[in-house]
Amino acid sequence: MIAERPFSQAPWDQTPVTVQDYLEALETRVAASEGTVRRLEAAVQHLTEHVQQNSRNSSRPPSSDPPQASGKASQREPSGRRPGGQPGHEGHTRALVPVEKVAAVVPIKPERCARCQPPWQGKDPQPQRHQVTEMPPVKPVVTEY
């Protein structure tokens, strides 16, 4: 069946007919297998292209992107510092309202020291202050005409 063999016609003619038939059947199976392999390779390539699609290179919506595909790594070089507030940095907090403008002052004194547990003397010259600002509920103004 295959016209080109790696040997001349003389050895082929000396080969028994049953062996020739067997070799031709094998050649046919190899040709069919090669066709199957080509078809499967094309299918794998098509599926690989489909898997590599995302919202940037196709008409798919961003919600169909896999989780690991979102965003790129930062191109900045790491500074070596840990994320968050750095030691010695003064925080940004809301300024305390003067005591004269506070509606109510509730003194809270602990009974014992949180660190060493002896009874608290209560003579801290600068106690920690904390203020909570609450908005009153909004009351609608109803006018009837």
pLDDT tens, 51-82? 888 888 888 888 888 777 555 667 788 888 88
Tokens of 28: 């046919």
Range of the domain at 23: 19-51
Domain count of the chain? 1
Residue 6 located in a structural domain: no
Residue 90 located in a structural domain: no
Question: Distance between CA atoms of 121 and 107, rounded to whole angstroms?
Answer: 14
Residue 86 located in a structural domain: no
**pLDDT tens across 33-56, in order?**
999 999 999 999 999 888 888 888
Q: Is 128 a residue whose pLDDT tops 60?
A: yes
pTM for the model stands at 0.39
Residue 65: CB atoms within 10 A of its CB come to 14
The pLDDT, as a whole number, for residue 98 is 92
